[in-house]
Structure 1
Amino acid sequence: MKEIKCECGHVNPIGTILCESCGRALTEKAKKESLHDMRYEGSARRSQTYNKTIIDKIWNFFSSVKVGVWLIIITLIASALGTILPQIMYITPNVDPHTYYSEHYGVFGSIYYLLGFHDLYKSWWYLLLVASIGVSLVICSLDRFIPLYRALKNQRVSRHEGFLKRQRLFNRVAATESTKDDFATIKQRLKESRYKIREEDGNILAEKGRFSRWGPYVNHIGLIIFLIGGMLRFVPGMYIDEELWLREGEIKTIPGTNDEYALENKKFTMDVYDPETDREVFGDAINRAGVVVKNFQSDVVLYKRDPDMILGESEGLEKIDEFQIRVNEPLKFDNYALYQMSYKINEFHKMTFNFLEKESEKIIGEVTIDLFDPQHEYEVSPGYKLELMGYYPDFSGFAENGEPQTNLTVPNNPAFLFKMFSPEHPEGEVSFAAIQQTVEPLGETDYKMAFKSMSTRNATVLTVRKDLTLWILSLGGAIFMIGVIQGSYWNHRRIWLQQVNGDVLIAGHTNKNWHTLKREINKIITDTSIPEPMDQQEEKTNGKESGKTNDDLA
């Protein structure tokens, strides 16, 4: 495909409608138009020129504004569908997601899971949608920005007469002896109005606000940066938002730190407002809620782990410092922040049972079980031992087949299935024991396990956050707002004054706010022989409304 050489000598890319230099119409359609379409200065856009290779077809597809809008609509619909059922982070922990959604929501839940809506923002097709929006923004911008920039850069002061006649604001008048002085007066007034003046052979091009044309493209840059920041959140190490349950006395590795840091909960404290001393200020709240929390905080110790240590050991931890974490007073270190989010008072910790002979109620011994680290076997006394056959942290009852059921992994209502070994029963007897409850699921036994006591401890819930994408998102948002301001509060205005064959031609163009430009031109040409430019679009509209043709108006 060859380039197009205009009569003025300027070589234009194939597909150009108006010469980038003089503005002459290069196509038959452009020559017949009553007004030129100046949206892209008649420049050649790649999407409207090339359509042969697969690259051309991909470019043309993503350069369509309609495609971009539909991608956004589809993404919004998908985001809305992702709120119908709870996301995977909100379902019961340690439960197979497929099983959970199919059991709770039936066929719809299974389809929901299979389509990836259960973990929407990490599903491959949702990320592909977001990436496609970014590709569409890039291609749309390049497809329009490059030819527009080239056309504005190459524009000459002296434009073809047909170009000026087809501007929305246009008029002509015969030149007079005062025309030269009028041009000088107008030139001075244009400078006072902060127009940039260019002259060529006595002709004038006054221009200002060209930078406003780049506002939409600055918007696109901001959006692209914002999308990049959003997608970087799925890159390991860039964004972390995890929950850490930490009981008093526990040391746990901080999630998302690659086992580099560990945290110890020395003590959790919850203070409430006193119903007597604080009633004057918080009386209504205390009456309404009963207990109003004044402060809850975690006294913690931050450790850094020796990289050569074996994971799971408490040795090899280097103490960094002690901290107090309160609401709105997080612990911050090495791009991480630990926020105090919730707590659990008097969480079950250890459970003690008596191993006793039923007939005589003789206690053979007792067993204390750590609810967070139950052992498989326990020695009670010589000749007596226990084997833990089943542990149900949140016992909810027996299934139809007699199998004990549990809802959660947190010990809210712990229960155990024991096998009891004694000299009389070396093969063992089975006993099911919970709080104030003992069941013999396989028949009568001579020994049983009886609940004795429960010890508790407090637990704190911390949120671990790390966000290395925040500055990228902020930068993208700031650039987007700059583009909004740039394109909203300024506009690109041009005024041409030329002498052609004894006539003076005046034309004006702006990308918006036509009436403001017209008033500004009228102010500039006041008390000169230069006529007020007519709004040819309004004239054309009025002519149609009155039934007149263009020939009648002429």
Structure 2
Amino acid sequence: MSQEIICECGHKNPEGTILCEACGKPLQEDNPKQLLNMRYEGSARRSQTYNRTAIDKIWNYLSSVKVGVTLIILVLIAIAIGTIFPQNIYIPAGADPDTFYKDQYGVLGQIYKTLGFDNLYKSWWFIILIGLLGASIVVASLDRFFPLHRALKNQKVTRHERFMKKQRLFGTTPTTKGEEQLQKAEQALKEKKYKVSREKGALLAEKGRFSRWGPYVNHIGLMVVLIAAVLRFIPGMYVNETMWIREGETKALPGTHNEYYITNHKFILTTYNKQDPQYKQAIKENGSIVKSYQSDVTLFKPEGQSVLGATPKLKKLRDDQIKVNSPLEFAGYQVFQADYRLNELYKMNFTLTDQSEKKTFGKLSVNLYNPKENYDLGHGYKVKLTYYFPDFYFDDNGDPATKSDTPNNPAFIFDVTTPDKPKGETSFVAIKTNQAISKDNQYKLTFAGLDTRNVSGLIVKRDFTVWIFFVGAMIFLLGVVQGMYWQHRRIWLRKINGELWLSAHTNKNWHGIKKDIAYLTDSLGIPEPVDQLEQKVVTEERRKHS
């Protein structure tokens, strides 16, 4: 249980108080020649008083400025490392993150992926780091704000002699007109916009106290920013999803919880004219230069209750064009035109012929994204797609396999049945490859052309946290201005044994308070107080050179 410290002035101070909150008397043994440390008004801070329980130790650790600065540095280092290689949302579409970083960047890429830098802002350790930083800011603020506020609130006009003597600016002047001089001092200081309080034989002039709260306003701003960052993990608060949609496709917009669908009717790419004098030379050296690109789309919303696994009935909302820097906007969402792929494989066309390719028996077209299993060419000629490898390669065992579902290098195994071959023939067909698997094949599928289509790369965004980030930033800047451009200045005057004692303190800009004191002393006709810190430095310099 904490013990109160009762000062000779009668004020009860919390355990750990260095200077009496009321009169300023030092309550602990100190060096008579050393000036008072006024940073926190000598108030009792929990982190400097208690170190008994585990909670005390955690509090003391988190309240440390060094710990807070270290956490900030670690966060900045993590963010910097996270920019070395692309985040996983920016790797090529269809690429497997588990292999992409190792294949592209070697061992460093593998370490990068293993440590979670590829998805930095959602990695568990980064979230913990942000949480610790937030806790450090809160604890450090509470540990300092309330004791400082209490000390400034409880300060009395009449200050203890030792308190006044150990201020940086201090001086005494013999006087027989103490009350008259205090009256003049009050008038002079009010002219300098000080708030003046009087007690019998004592005066306190103060201004700019609100500047002491600047750092804590900064902390509030930082906490608001951190809260905004945490809110981004709440579904619906922040959406930043990438999607690829081919011409003719209708897809649910990612991040909208299937509440909105979009159809890509056409992708349009325009380039600069070869005869344009501004780009003629560049086009000659580098080929065509893209001028703009856009997607012509239709936005839909499902009607009625959706059945799981079934395509919902869609209600058209509007037609629009998504251009670079001109997004489709609706219900707080923005859909940006971000990328494109031209002439992506869509269908492969084949002709069934004899081995000499002199006779044809029909044609078929295989949709590379949604292939059918059976194709009836008529007159008893049928083709069955037995196996399909969109991104074909041979695995370690020499068997055909696929790297991904994207048809970068399609290959097929077909079974062909004909009137004279009812048991069928099996063939392996790929680009520039046509091999018979069964014996004595009389038929083969001959490549007859490709159908391609363009693909639009879109980014779906919605951010309800932007305004919170903005508010936090404004609060932080307000704290910076509050703490940097104003100073907390205090001047104490007191009649003691036929002398007028004057002392002063400011949290910064000593030149400014010295100008105020010079105006005061000129009004009173007394000498200016001595800057004891400068006097000490001068004395030490003389001692060194003597």
TM-score (norm 2): 0.92
The residue number in structure 2 matching 1:191 is 190
SS of residue matched to 1:69: helix
SS of residue matched to 1:526: helix
The residue number in structure 2 matching 1:380 is 377
1:76-475 correspondence runs (5 A): 76-91=76-91, 97-101=97-101, 111-177=111-177, 179-276=178-275, 279-280=276-277, 282-310=279-307, 313-359=310-356, 361-395=358-392, 398=394, 401-404=397-400, 409-423=405-419, 425-440=421-436, 445-475=441-471
What CA distance in whole angstroms lies between the structure 2 residues aligned with 1:402 and 1:446? 26
Residue deviations 1:112-149, cap 9 Å, x none?
44433332221111100111000000000110011001
Whether the aligned pair in 1 keeps the contact of 2:184 and 2:523 (CA below 8 Å) is no
Deviates more, 1:406-415 or 1:162-171: 406-415
SS of residue matched to 1:19: coil
* Residue 281 (structure 1) shift: 5.0
For 1:170, give the aligned amino acid.
F
Whether the aligned pair in 2 keeps the contact of 1:504 and 1:530 (CA below 8 Å) is no
* Residue 28 (structure 1) shift: 1.2
Across the aligned residues of Structure 1 and Structure 2, the Cα RMSD in angstroms comes to: 2.7
SS of residue matched to 1:445: coil
Residue of 475, 484, 487 corresponding to 1:488: 484
* Residue 427 (structure 1) shift: 5.0
Residue deviations 1:255-313, cap 9 Å, x none?
0110010011222222333334xx24554554454433333222211111125123565
Structure 2 unmatched runs, 5+ = none
The residue number in structure 2 matching 1:72 is 72
The residue number in structure 2 matching 1:18 is 19
Percentage identity across aligned positions? 50
Change in Cα spacing, 1:36 to 1:365, as seen in structure 2 (3 Å) is: same
What CA distance in whole angstroms lies between the structure 1 residues aligned with 2:168 and 2:232? 49
Deviates more, 1:196-205 or 1:527-536: 527-536
For 1:362, give the aligned amino acid.
K
Change in Cα spacing, 1:426 to 1:38, as seen in structure 2 (3 Å) is: farther
The residue number in structure 1 matching 2:28 is 27
What CA distance in whole angstroms lies between the structure 2 residues aligned with 1:401 and 1:200? 97
* Residue 443 (structure 1) shift: 6.8
For 2:390, give the aligned amino acid.
P
Change in Cα spacing, 1:441 to 1:225, as seen in structure 2 (3 Å) is: farther
What CA distance in whole angstroms lies between the structure 1 residues aligned with 2:17 and 2:90? 56
What CA distance in whole angstroms lies between the structure 2 residues aligned with 1:441 and 1:477? 68
* Residue 500 (structure 1) shift: 1.3
For 1:199, give the aligned amino acid.
R
Work out whether 1:49 is the aligned partner of 2:49: yes
The residue number in structure 1 matching 2:36 is 36
Residue deviations 1:494-524, cap 9 Å, x none?
1111111211111110111112211221123
What CA distance in whole angstroms lies between the structure 2 residues aligned with 1:442 and 1:402? 18
The residue number in structure 2 matching 1:547 is 543
For 2:21, give the aligned amino acid.
E
What CA distance in whole angstroms lies between the structure 1 residues aligned with 2:478 and 2:458? 37
* Residue 483 (structure 1) shift: 0.8
TM-score (norm 1): 0.91
Change in Cα spacing, 1:427 to 1:98, as seen in structure 2 (3 Å) is: farther
For 1:336, give the aligned amino acid.
Y
For 1:372, give the aligned amino acid.
Y
Residue of 522, 525, 528 corresponding to 1:529: 525
Deviates more, 1:295-304 or 1:154-163: 295-304
* Residue 450 (structure 1) shift: 1.2
The residue number in structure 1 matching 2:495 is 499
What CA distance in whole angstroms lies between the structure 2 residues aligned with 1:360 and 1:497? 113
SS of residue matched to 1:305: strand
What CA distance in whole angstroms lies between the structure 2 residues aligned with 1:444 and 1:39? 96
SS of residue matched to 1:309: coil
What CA distance in whole angstroms lies between the structure 1 residues aligned with 2:304 and 2:373? 32
Residue deviations 1:167-223, cap 9 Å, x none?
11111111134x444333332221121111111114211111111111111111111
Change in Cα spacing, 1:522 to 1:441, as seen in structure 2 (3 Å) is: farther
* Residue 238 (structure 1) shift: 1.4
| Number of residues of Structure 1 aligned to a counterpart in Structure 2 | 545
Whether the aligned pair in 1 keeps the contact of 2:188 and 2:523 (CA below 8 Å) is no
Residue deviations 1:227-258, cap 9 Å, x none?
11112212222111111222222111010110
For 1:247, give the aligned amino acid.
R
What CA distance in whole angstroms lies between the structure 1 residues aligned with 2:348 and 2:220? 61
Structure 1 unmatched runs, 5+ = none
What CA distance in whole angstroms lies between the structure 2 residues aligned with 1:103 and 1:275? 38
For 1:367, give the aligned amino acid.
L
Change in Cα spacing, 1:360 to 1:296, as seen in structure 2 (3 Å) is: closer
